[in-house]
Amino acid sequence: MGAGIFIGIINGFFGGGGGMICVPALILLGLSNKQAQATAILIMLPISIASAIVYYSSGFVDWNSVLFVSIGSVIGGIVGAYLLKKLSNNVLQYVFALVVVAAGVRMLF
């Protein structure tokens, strides 16, 4: 329940990132890696829909942008899932972590 409270706060407040907390939390609760990733998506789905409704009612939705980003995202998602099968080490995980830190620092200044 504690995990749920925390995941909801993060995803509602920042509009994302909940999955990155949800997956390790579910693994800690005893789920396998694949189960944790699958269950995390089912958890994130209603949370994202509920948060999106609140954002929409507060006037923060630009449908044109949503449409174009979605088109790119679906294509990228398919290519990414295909590439994942071909990856043999976690170099990308390191690159991702460093890019996220760099983006965070950049946003602070």
Partner 1 sequence: MLWYYLSLAGLFGGLVGGMGMGGGTLLIPILTMFLGVDQHLAQAINLLVFIPTGIIAVIIHAKNKLIDYKVFGIIIFPAMATAVGAALLVGKLESDLLKILFGVFLVLIGIFQLYQAIKASIDRKKKITRPVLKHNLYPPRNKDF
- Binding to partner 1 by CB under 8 A, coded x per residue (else -) over 56-95, reads x-x-xxx-xxx-xxxxxxxxxxxxxxxxx--x-xx-xxx-
- Output DSSP code: residue 45: H
14 alpha carbon, distance to own chain's centre:
10
- Please report how close the Cβ of residue 39 comes to partner 1 at its closest, in angstroms: 5
Instruction: Tell me: does residue 17 bind partner 1 (CB under 8 A).
Output: yes
- Please report how close the Cβ of residue 107 comes to partner 1 at its closest, in angstroms: 3
Instruction: Tell me: does residue 50 bind partner 1 (CB under 8 A).
Output: yes
Find out whether 26 and 36 touch, Cβ atoms under 8 Å: yes
- Please report how close the Cβ of residue 28 comes to partner 1 at its closest, in angstroms: 11
Instruction: Tell me: does residue 28 bind partner 1 (CB under 8 A).
Output: no
For partner 1 (CB under 8 A), the number of binding residues is 88
Burial 33-70 (b: 16+ CB within 10 A, else e): eeebeeebeebbeebbeebeeeeeeeeeeeeeeeeeee
Distance CA 62, CA 33 (A): 35
- Please report how close the Cβ of residue 63 comes to partner 1 at its closest, in angstroms: 9
